[in-house]
């Protein structure tokens, strides 16, 4: 049990995903930051650690896999959840190799992504 | 492969083999049509679900779903071509047309629906934002859904504008001129603005349009008085990109003649390209969207006093305040900020206590000039220093504004007027963008409920999301609800559509039992009342009069009124319903899901009348069933698949096609007795149909008549041997049943497989009603859905179509379900005339379940 709120970073180049997840997680009591660009997200990850990172895998002009690999390099403890519309078996295998905690297929229910975050918290002993 | 190539190949294939296609091949095609038809319905339902707010989806999802759907639709069309060995050119063209419309929407080119150029305000129903612009569509909702007084009037649609600028290629010139604009290039902007405005002002309107406008205006002036108001209602206006005050409004316009409504119409259209509007367009990043303007023409309210109301006061220190500005006469000077006004700050919570009041001297007022236009005149001395509104009017206004706020789920800027009879009229409501004074206060909505006591949490389904606070009102069964207080939260043991009557006055609804797909839920969504159904113990736990806060999104009920939580809900940066993706999905779904082809007996049941993907699927399904009956009847050789007529004590008129061991070997000839049936699913259904009380009930007289008339109407002229062949079809094998039943106007499909392998066991049931009045139809849908849910079916209700699916239950349980379906088919046959009121739904449900008891473990 700790008073500290679980922090979440969301990266998706579809603005609608960030727009919906930010107020949702914020309302559910999380500390949330959202990014539409991998460079900005990565810059932020270099500044501070997040408990959970939620990222799309395949985005226009950027590679979610490369991003999450970097995140795990910098903060191995971060729980990474991948949200993607085009998961192939190959990318799934590769991202689990990179230490991805969970996959959520797009489109997803808000309740599903919240469940997934809660599983990360449970595994890492976070949250109230 | 494009759908078109697919069709061509398919056509080539059948041409080569005409008259030689074995029945089994055609039957396979028929099966594939059924599967595809189900897939199309599933895809449509899946897309519809995404509008519910529970899902996060992106543009890619919309594109992919449309691709998959259109692919299936074209394959359906080509499957039918193979089955009927006919080209289906009309149907293919209908598919092309719908595909084109969907692609246009996806490409950002909005194609307003094919309405006439003029729509009366009284007839504006949901979702006409594309046709009427948001401002008038909102006004239509205020009048027609919320039932609040608005001016009389009509809308000249965006379609009328687009048709007008289409002439002389003006639409193209506009698009070119706008694409050259850059933010910061003021000279260019001025030049483009002047040029386009000139073009519009000089535009020769299509003669039919000018005549229609003049006639509608004359008619309106007769009803609403000789002077009218002509108001802009452009695309994107009054959304969060408000364009407030940038478009033209003309007041005191005469219906005809120079300076009349037609001239005012052109002036309002021209303001679409005012410098301010063009600059704002660039600033908001709307340069890629084609502008279009609808125009509202309404009666000018002869106002004694008018003004504006902000449901959240952005400037005031009090955090639960709304502010009213009021002046004598017409409200334009108030909105423009050019007049002295009374300013009253009210509490947002009932009874809306006055927090502060500033009554100014108002030396002048704006009134309509009987000669046309408006003028400023001196205020009569006795009014000059008097308040414009009485305390009763203030509280009436506050209640109305908060009802609007709840409906639009946004703080609002409401324009209002009181006429000389003291009647309140709502002129307009637009979203108000509020930025919290203290950014910290709203930064973390979770803190808003942190210290609150949770009364109920975790159970229930949100029929409509949102947050609401107010006192509890507990609805006793059978109570007439006349004492329901404004602003309360309704708590009931069961959901019921009769609560619709208090919904405009209630802030939220909580029920112990109820379905998010039920009738009440539908109405709650329409009126946007936050509603949580199926909440365990709500009725027992909550006390009358107790102040609570309902958070339907998170399925929590808190003790006390949590103002912070309510405000954070209203101040949400992005309302899902306003997002680009939501609006795009909603627009493409308009081309996909509505079913306009309802009655196969109607002369309009033609390919050319197919307006949506759903229509095409429906048409193909109907024709495929008819074709299979005809085909099997006329097919050359007698073979196993030859159709037989089932002779049984039940008047089903059933034609059987046995594809594999569905009949006893001993069964020969054209007639088959019930004892010869070996098809396990069909036997179960027959058993259910025959079960005591289900079929023997005399149909109500009215229904018997419609039953008989439908008997005679159902035979299409192209059916081979109507007198010999039954009108209903069952394709059977030992384990499989595909049943198409038309009884009365009801149309039922059962597709079932019950075999040795649990995993293959499946039942699909679909019920569609016919031409009964809407209320009875939806009562019937509610009843059928309730029965299916009791029996563990996955149920979807779309209008009057109910589908249920059950899979992978043990065979014994599946057969129980089929017996129940047999009973349900028999039962609903005589039901319509009996569903006189909502209470009868529950009565019939009980009656039915007393004969077919639901499995014990199915209780929710």
Give the predicted TM-score (pTM) of the model.
0.62
The band of A10, judged by pLDDT with boundaries at 50, 70 and 90, is very high
For residues B307-327, average pLDDT: 81
Could you report the per-residue pLDDT of B1-39, keeping only the tens digit for each? 444 444 444 444 444 444 556 777 777 888 888 889 888
- pLDDT tens per residue, range B118-159: 999 988 865 677 789 889 999 998 998 888 999 999 999 998
User: What tokens appear for B694 in the block?
Assistant: 């289900």
Predicted confidence at residue B564, as pLDDT, reads: 77
C-beta of residue B244 within 8 angstroms of C-beta of residue B430: yes
Instruction: Please give the domain boundaries of chain B with CATH numbers for all domains.
Output: 3-111 (no CATH), 152-299 (3.30.1490.20), 303-419 (3.30.470.20), 439-570 (3.50.30.10), 644-858 (no CATH)
Question: Is A88 contained in some domain?
Answer: yes
Residue A128 lies in a domain: no
Beta-carbon separation of B55 and A16 below 8 A: no
Is B579 within 8 Å of A26 when comparing Cβ atoms?
no
Residue B670: phi, psi to the nearest 5?
A: -80, -20
Tell me which of B453 and B622 has the higher pLDDT.
B453
Q: Residue B403 CA to chain centroid, in angstroms?
A: 20
Comparing B522 with A102, which gets the higher pLDDT? A102
pLDDT score of B126: 58
Residue numbers of the domain that contains A67? 7-122
Tokens of A125: 């002993």
Closest chain B residue to the Cα of A12, Cα to Cα? B58
Residue B709: its pLDDT value, please?
35
Average pLDDT, chain B: 81
Question: Cα–Cα distances in Å, from B288 out to A50, B3, B133, B741?
Answer: 37, 30, 18, 51
Q: Given pLDDT bands bounded at 50, 70 and 90, which one contains residue A113?
A: very high
Does a structural domain hold residue A127? no
Rounded distance between C-alpha atoms, residue B538 and residue B455, angstroms: 9
Mutate to test the interface with B, among A13, A20, A64 (most CBs of B within 10 A): A20
- A60 confidence band (pLDDT: 50, 70, 90): low
Using the predicted structure, report yes or no on whether residue B717 has a pLDDT greater than 80: no
The answer to whether residue A96 sits within a structural domain is yes
pLDDT value, residue B708: 34
| Cβ atoms B582, B494 nearer than 8 A | no
Residue A116's domain is classified under what CATH number? 3.40.50.2300
Q: pLDDT at position A93, please?
A: 78
**Span B30-53, mean pLDDT?**
82
Cα-trace Rg, chain B: 31
Check residue B693 and give its pLDDT. Answer: 56
Task: Give CA separation, B803 vs B45, B327, B329, in Å.
Answer: 11, 56, 56
Confidence band of B445 (pLDDT split at 50, 70, 90): low
Burial of A97 (0-12, 13-18, 19+ CB in 10 A): exposed
Backbone angles phi, psi at A9, to 5 degrees: -110, 130
Position B706 scores a pLDDT of 39
Choose from B58, B60, B565 for mutation: most chain A CBs within 10 A: B58
Which residues, numbered 551 to 580 in chain B, qualify as contacts with chain A under a Cβ-Cβ cut-off of 8 Å?
553-554, 568, 572-574, 576, 579-580
Query: Taking 50 as the threshold, does the pLDDT of residue B619 lie above it?
Result: yes
Residues 6+ apart with CB under 8 A from B850: none
% pLDDT > 70, chain B:
81
CA distance B24 to B30: 10
* Distance, C-alpha B726 to centroid of its chain: 38
CB atoms within 10 A of CB B40: 25
Determine, yes or no, domain membership for A45.
yes
Place of tokens 């408990």: A51
| pLDDT of B182 | 84
Q: Between the ranges B228-232, B456-460, B621-625, B808-812, where is the mean pLDDT highest?
A: B228-232
Q: Which residue has the higher pLDDT, B697 or B209?
A: B209
Question: Regarding beta strands A58-59 and B643-647, do their DSSP bridges make them parallel or antiparallel, or are they unpaired?
Answer: unpaired
B6/B12 Cα distance (integer angstroms): 10
Among the listed ranges B356-360, B427-431, B704-708, which one has the minimum average pLDDT value? B704-708
If one counts every other C-beta atom within 10 angstroms of the C-beta of residue B119, the result is 24
Q: Please state, in angstroms and as integers, the Cα–Cα distance from residue B501 to each residue in B395, B497, B573, following that order.
A: 21, 8, 32
Alpha helices in B107-157 (DSSP H): 129-144
pLDDT band at B525 (very low <50, low <70, confident <90, very high): confident
Average pLDDT score over residue span B568-576: 67
pLDDT exceeds 80 at position B443: no
Give the residue ranges of DSSP H helices in B691-752. 701-714
Q: How far apart are CA B321 and CA B304, in angstroms?
A: 25
CA torsion, points B589, B594, B597, B599, in degrees to nearest 10? 160
How many other β-carbons are positioned within 10 Å of the β-carbon of residue B207?
A: 8
Whether residues B56 and A108 touch (CB distance < 8 A) is answered with yes
For chain A, the residues whose C-beta falls within 8 A of a C-beta of chain B are: 12, 14, 16-17, 19-23, 26-30, 85, 106-111, 113
- The closest CB to that of A85, out of B54, B60, B572, belongs to B60
Render pLDDT for B622-656 as a digit per residue (tens, 0 to 9). Answer: 888 778 767 665 654 444 566 788 887 777 788 88
Is the pLDDT at B719 greater than 80, yes or no?
no
B443 burial class (0-12, 13-18, 19+ CB within 10 angstroms)?
A: exposed
Query: Does residue A1 sit within a domain?
Result: no
CA distances to A62, A68, B246, B410, B641 from A97, rounded to whole Å, are 20, 11, 56, 46, 55
**pLDDT at residue number B466:** 85
SS3 B373: coil
Hey, of B54, B55, B56, which one would you mutate to test binding to chain A, going by the most A CBs within 10 A of its CB? B56
| Domain assignment present for A2 | no
Rounded CA-CA distance B34/B628 in Å is 12
B439 and A CB contact within 8 Å = no
pLDDT value at B239 more than 70: no
How would residue B111 be classed by pLDDT, with cut points 50, 70 and 90?
low
Burial of B680-710, coded b for 16+ CB within 10 Å and e otherwise, reads bbbbbbbebbbbeebbeeebeeebeebbeeb
Mean pLDDT is lowest, of A47-51, B378-382, B577-581, B668-672, for B577-581
Q: How many interchain CB pairs under 8 A, A with B?
A: 65
Alpha helix (H) residue ranges in B50-58: none
Which of B59, B554, B576 is the closest to A14 by Cβ?
Answer: B59
pLDDT digits (tens, 9 = 90+) for B381-432: 999 999 999 999 999 999 999 989 888 878 888 999 999 999 999 999 988 7
Q: Name every chain B residue with its beta carbon within 8 A of the beta carbon of A29.
A: 446, 450
Residue B668 has what pLDDT? Answer: 73
Nearest to B581 among A16, A28, A109 (CB): A16
Q: A85 vs B61: CB contact, 8 Å cut-off?
A: yes
A106 with B554: Cβ contact below 8 A: no
pLDDT at B69: 96
Which tokens is B599 given? 């009655």
Q: How many domains does chain A have?
A: 1
Least Cα distance to B307 among B352, B281, B339 occurs for B339
Shortest alpha-carbon distance between residue B444 and chain A (Å): 6
3-state SS track over B273-322: HCHHHHHHHHHCCCCCCCCCEEEEEEECCCEEEEEEEECCCCCCCCCCEE
Q: What is the pLDDT of residue A87?
A: 61
The values of phi and psi at residue B558, to 5°, are -105, 155
- How does residue B705 score in pLDDT terms, banded at 50, 70 and 90? very low
Q: Indicate yes or no: CB of B56 within 8 angstroms of CB of A106.
A: yes
- With CB atoms and an 8 Å threshold, state whether A26 touches B446: yes
> Scanning the structure block, which residue is given the tokens 């108030």?
B334
Q: Which of A58-72, B148-162, B235-249 has the highest mean pLDDT?
A: B148-162
């Amino acid at each position: 049990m700790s008073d500290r709120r679980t922090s979440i970073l969301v990266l998706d180049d579809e603005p609608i995903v960030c727009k919906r997840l930010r107020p949702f997680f914020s309302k559910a009591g999380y500390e949330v930051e959202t990014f539409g660009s991998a460079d900005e997200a990565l810059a932020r990850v270099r500044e501070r650690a997040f408990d959970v990172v939620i990222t799309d895998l395949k985005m226009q002009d950027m590679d979610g896999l490369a991003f999450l690999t970097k995140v795990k390099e910098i903060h191995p403890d971060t729980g990474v959840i991948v949200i993607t519309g085009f998961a192939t078996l190959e990318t799934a295998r590769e991202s689990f190799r990179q230490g991805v905690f969970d996959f959520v297929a797009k489109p997803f229910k808000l309740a599903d992504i919240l469940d997934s975050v809660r599983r990360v918290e449970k595994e890492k002993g976070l949250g109230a | 492969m494009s759908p078109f190539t697919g069709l061509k190949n398919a056509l080539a294939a059948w041409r080569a083999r005409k008259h030689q296609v074995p029945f089994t091949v055609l039957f396979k095609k028929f099966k594939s049509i059924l599967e595809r038809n189900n897939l199309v319905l599933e895809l449509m339902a899946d897309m519809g679900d995404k509008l519910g707010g529970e899902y996060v989806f992106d543009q890619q999802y919309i594109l992919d779903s449309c691709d998959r759907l259109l692919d299936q639709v074209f394959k359906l069309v080509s499957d039918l071509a193979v089955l009927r060995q006919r080209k289906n050119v009309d149907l293919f063209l209908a598919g092309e047309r719908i595909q084109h419309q969907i692609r246009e929407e996806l490409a950002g080119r909005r194609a307003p629906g094919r309405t006439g150029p003029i729509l009366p305000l009284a007839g504006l129903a949901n979702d006409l934002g594309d046709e009427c612009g948001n401002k008038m569509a909102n006004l239509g909702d205020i009048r027609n859904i919320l039932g609040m007084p608005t001016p009389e009037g009509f809308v000249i649609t965006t379609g009328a504008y687009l048709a007008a600028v289409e002439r002389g290629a003006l639409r193209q010139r506009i698009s070119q001129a706008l694409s050259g604009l850059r933010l910061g290039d003021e000279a260019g902007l001025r030049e483009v603005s002047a040029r386009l405005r000139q073009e519009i002002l000089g535009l020769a309107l299509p003669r039919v349009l000018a005549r229609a406008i003049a006639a509608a205006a004359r008619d309106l002036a007769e009803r609403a008085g000789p002077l009218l108001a002509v108001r802009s209602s452009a695309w994107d206006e009054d959304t969060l990109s408000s364009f407030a005050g940038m478009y033209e409004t003309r007041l005191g316009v005469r219906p005809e003649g120079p300076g009349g409504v037609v001239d005012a119409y052109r002036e309002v259209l021209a303001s679409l390209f005012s410098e301010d509007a063009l600059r704002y367009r660039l600033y908001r990043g709307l340069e890629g969207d084609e502008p279009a303007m609808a125009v509202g023409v309404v009666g000018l309210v002869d106002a004694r006093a008018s003004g504006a109301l902000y449901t959240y006061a952005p400037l005031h220190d009090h955090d639960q305040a709304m502010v009213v500005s009021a002046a004598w006469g017409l409200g334009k000077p108030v909105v423009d900020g050019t007049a002295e006004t009374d300013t009253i700050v009210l509490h947002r919570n009932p009874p809306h206590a006055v927090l502060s009041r500033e009554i100014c001297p108002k030396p002048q007022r704006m009134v309509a000039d009987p000669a046309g236009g408006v003028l400023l005149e001196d205020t009569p001395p006795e009014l000059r220093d008097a308040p414009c509104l009485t305390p009763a009017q203030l509280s009436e206004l506050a209640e109305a504004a908060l009802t609007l706020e709840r409906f639009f789920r946004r703080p609002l800027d409401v324009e209002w007027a009181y006429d000389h009879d003291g009647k309140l009229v709502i002129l307009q409501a637009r979203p108000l963008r509020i930025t919290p004074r203290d950014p910290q206060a709203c930064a973390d909505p979770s803190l808003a409920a942190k210290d609150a006591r949770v009364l109920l949490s975790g159970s229930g389904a949100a029929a409509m999301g949102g947050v609401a606070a107010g006192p509890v009102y507990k609805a006793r069964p059978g109570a007439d609800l006349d004492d329901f207080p404004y602003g309360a939260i309704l708590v009931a043991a069961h959901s019921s559509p009769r609560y619709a009557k208090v919904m405009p006055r209630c802030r939220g609804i909580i029920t112990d039992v109820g379905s998010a797909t039920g009738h009440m839920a539908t109405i709650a969504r329409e009126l946007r009342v936050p509603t949580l159904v199926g909440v365990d113990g709500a009725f027992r736990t909550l006390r009358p009069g107790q102040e609570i806060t309902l958070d339907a999104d998170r399925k929590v009920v808190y003790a006390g009124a949590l103002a912070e939580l309510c405000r954070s809900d209203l101040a949400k940066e992005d309302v899902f319903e306003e997002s680009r993706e939501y609006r795009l999905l909603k627009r493409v779904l308009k081309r996909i899901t509505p079913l306009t082809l309802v009655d196969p007996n109607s002369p309009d049941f033609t390919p050319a009348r197919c307006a949506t993907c759903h229509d095409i699927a429906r048409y193909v399904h109907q024709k495929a069933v008819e074709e299979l009956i005809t085909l099997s009847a006329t097919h050359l050789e007698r073979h196993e698949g030859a159709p037989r007529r089932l002779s049984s004590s039940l008047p089903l008129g059933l034609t059987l096609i046995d594809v594999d061991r569905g009949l006893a070997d001993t069964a020969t000839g054209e007639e088959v007795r019930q004892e010869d049936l070996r098809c396990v699913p069909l036997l179960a259904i027959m058993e259910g149909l025959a079960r005591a009380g289900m079929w023997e009930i005399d149909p109500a007289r009215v229904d018997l008549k419609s039953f008989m008339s439908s008997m005679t109407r159902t035979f299409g002229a192209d059916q081979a041997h109507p007198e010999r062949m039954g009108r209903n079809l069952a394709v059977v094998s030992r384990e499989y049943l595909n049943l198409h039943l038309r009884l009365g106007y009801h149309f039922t499909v059962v597709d079932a497989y019950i075999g040795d392998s649990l995993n293959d066991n499946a039942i699909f049931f679909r019920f569609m009603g016919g031409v009964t009045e809407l209320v009875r139809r939806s009562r019937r849908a509610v009843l059928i859905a309730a029965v299916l849910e009791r029996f563990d079916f996955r149920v979807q209700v779309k209008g009057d179509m109910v589908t249920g699916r059950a899979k992978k239950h043990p065979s014994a349980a599946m057969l129980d379900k089929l017996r129940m379906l047999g009973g349900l088919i028999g039962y609903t046959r005589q039901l319509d005339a009996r569903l006189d009121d909502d209470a009868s739904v529950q009565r019939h449900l009980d009656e039915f379940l007393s004969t077919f008891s639901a499995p014990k473990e199915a209780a929710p």
